[in-house]
Amino acid sequence: MIELLALLSIGAIAGVLAGLLGIGGGLVIVPALSALWIAGGVDPAVAVPGAVATSLASMLLTSASSALAHARSGRMDWAAARRLGPALALGGLAGGALASQLGGDRLALVFAVLAGLIGVKMLLDPRPRPSHRAPAPRGWWLAGPLIGAASSLIGIGGGSFNVPYLVSNGYSTLRAVAIAAACGWPIAAAGVVGFALQGLEPGPRWGQYGFIDVGSALVIGLAGWIGAPLGARMAERLGSDRLRRVFGLLLLLVALRMAL
């Protein structure tokens, strides 16, 4: 029961942040799930890649919910999402396969470095500089695989990378957040496939296949499905600069904890 409540809380918080800031909920899910499992006696060599894989699986629900909420608000650009999606999926497939080979310690260090960089950017530059160019996903053939691989590698939906990329290519911040939410789905799907290809045999927990804990992914994903529309509505009403700075500081603390 305690683990169930913890998983519901992790999913709800991740979903709200995904809808509000357009970030990958994995920045919350991966460290929280790793800590939960390690405290329960799971080997860190399994807990960290398992948390990354399970985070990606849960985002199949969270990203879909966030994207639908933004679409209902009229901010979605499906043409941009369709253009970016296959390129992101290609990178996500490679990132998931690589992450499963790194091992817990090295993967935790990779997560710490990327989360720390994202945290610093949120603290120093909370709002991406808008561009006066016509909105278009320029350089998608290069940006997509790179963003997909980096995101899948640490179990996030890619919003931390996609939003600045899209804003620099002429999209408004709110529209960029909406497109990033939709783009989280192909990253998550490809990352899950990347992990699954490393071994489909059942793991030590019921419902676990390879590194993916299906039961935990469903609980977190359903809680995120509920939380994401709330975050999307909050994005319309709240100035997010202060929140991004607070979250940036939190990410630095999380990065330090994961590095240690």
Per-domain residue ranges of the chain:
2-259
Task: Taking residues 105-116, report their average pLDDT.
Answer: 92
Tokens describing residue 85: 């999606």
Give pTM, 2 decimals. Answer: 0.87
In the chain, the percentage of residues whose pLDDT exceeds 90 is: 41
How far is it, in rounded angstroms, from Cα 198 to Cα 201? 9
Q: Is the pLDDT assigned to residue 207 strictly greater than 70?
A: no
Q: What is the dihedral of CA 108, 186, 123, 48, to 10 degrees?
A: -10
Mean residue pLDDT across the chain: 86
Single out the residue of 60, 8, 53 nearest to residue 34, CA to CA. 53
How far is it, in rounded angstroms, from Cα 205 to Cα 110? 26
Half-sphere exposure of 95 (CA within 13 A, CB side): 33
φ and ψ at residue 212, rounded to 5 degrees: -90, 120
CB-based contacts of 200-204 (< 8 A; 24+ apart in sequence): 203/50
Tokens describing residue 143: 């940006």
